[in-house]
Amino acid sequence: MTERIAPVITAEHLTFAYPGKSQHVLDIPHLQINAAERVFIKGASGSGKSTLLSLLAGVLVPTSGVINILGQPLNQMRSRQRDHFRADHIGFIFQMFNLIPYLSVIDNVILPCHFSKQRQSKACTQHSVHQEAQRLLRHLGLDDDQLHHRRVTELSIGQQQRVAAARALIGAPEIIIADEPTSSLDADARASFLQLLFAECAAAQSTLLFVSHDASLESLFPRSLALHDLNQAGTH
């Protein structure tokens, strides 16, 4: 049974319009993403990218249509349930300003475990949450243990982004959503960051949704979707 490919995200007839506006900013007839897939979603700014991510994260509720995540109808949940669901099942990496400036590297990484019992218990199956955080950081190339107790503001942008990745990965959430995580990195750092991210997602069997406007990264992903093909809003 485990070998059967199960959909992680399905969306049907998904539309969204901001309250008080009649025009849809998003209209997706069909979207399916399967477990452990690595999907590149290409989209320029203004293409409804952040709206889609907000819908998938359950921050916004669709105007109509259905979103199922891990078999659960997100659009039918109450806001508290969506918050819990997000905390348990989705890890986020953003473009910039990802980390809490006043916490140490380690404390930033273990932050999601404070808000999700599920991720906390998953993170400490083999050892403590702390050790799991250190393991992730080492795997992501931050192998200087001294670094782990520094303030995040003392780190370079590239290092910060790896800390953010470790934080998204801790407790092995089923879905990792990365929103332009590499745009502040140079080309070399970008490639090595992606390699590490892929390896960790594979190890945790997490599904990766990678959103970027940078087409040069597209070739690194087995599956690529263009948001303007996906999104019917504005085309009719």
Stretch that binds other proteins, among 16-24, 66-74, 112-120, 209-217 (CB under 8 A): 112-120
Q: Which of residues 87, 169, 172, 209 is near other proteins by CB under 8 A?
A: 87
Q: Does position 66 bind other proteins by CB under 8 A?
A: no
Q: Does position 60 bind other proteins by CB under 8 A?
A: yes
* Distances 191 to 206, 208, 216 between C-alpha atoms, Å: 19, 16, 10
How far the first Cα of the chain sits from its last, in Å, is 42
Residues 116, 88 contacting (CB under 8 angstroms): yes
Q: How far is the CB of 39 from other proteins (least distance, A)?
A: 20
Spatial distance between the Cα atoms of 211 and 219, rounded to a whole number of angstroms? 14
Rank residues 107 and 200 by Cβ distance to other proteins and give the closer one: 107
Q: Does position 119 bind other proteins by CB under 8 A?
A: yes
Q: Does position 155 bind other proteins by CB under 8 A?
A: no
Report strand pairing: 38-42 vs 207-212: parallel
Length of the chain: 236
Q: Does position 222 bind other proteins by CB under 8 A?
A: no
Q: How far is the CB of 203 from other proteins (least distance, A)?
A: 20
Q: Provide the 10 A C-beta neighbour count for residue 132.
A: 24
Residues 70, 118 contacting (CB under 8 angstroms): no
Q: How far is the CB of 236 from other proteins (least distance, A)?
A: 27
| Token duo for residue 170 | 């801790």
> Which residues contact other proteins by CB under 8 A?
50, 54, 57, 59-60, 79-80, 83-84, 86-88, 92, 94, 97-103, 107, 111-112, 114-116, 119, 167
